Amino acid sequence: GAVVSQHPSRVICKSGTSVKIECRSLDFQATTMFWYRQFPKQSLMLMATSNEGSKATYEQGVEKDKFLINHASLTLSTLTVTSAHPEDSSFYICSARDSLATGELFFGEGSRLTVL
Partner 1 sequence: AQSVAQPEDQVNVAEGNPLTVKCTYSVSGNPYLFWYVQYPNRGLQFLLKYITGDNLVKGSYGFEAEFNKSQTSFHLKKPSALVSDSALYFCAVRDTGGGNKLTFGTGTQLKVEL
Residues near partner 1 (CB under 8 A): 1, 4, 6, 32, 34, 41-44, 46, 49, 91, 93, 95, 97, 102-110, 112
Cβ distance to partner 1 smaller for residue 74 or 82: 74
Which of residues 10 and 85 has its CB atom nearest to partner 1 in the complex? 10
- Among 58, 60, 64, 73, which residue's Cα sits nearest to residue 23? 73
**Residue 56 near residue 50, CB atoms below 8 Å:** yes
Coil/strand/helix, residue 53: coil
**Nearest distance from C-beta of residue 54 to partner 1, angstroms:** 14
The closest of 78, 39, 81 to 62, measured between CA atoms, is: 81
Euclidean distance between CA atoms 116 and 111, whole angstroms: 16
The least distance separating partner 1 from the CB of residue 16, rounded to whole angstroms, comes to 26
Shortest spacing between CB 70 and partner 1, in angstroms: 19
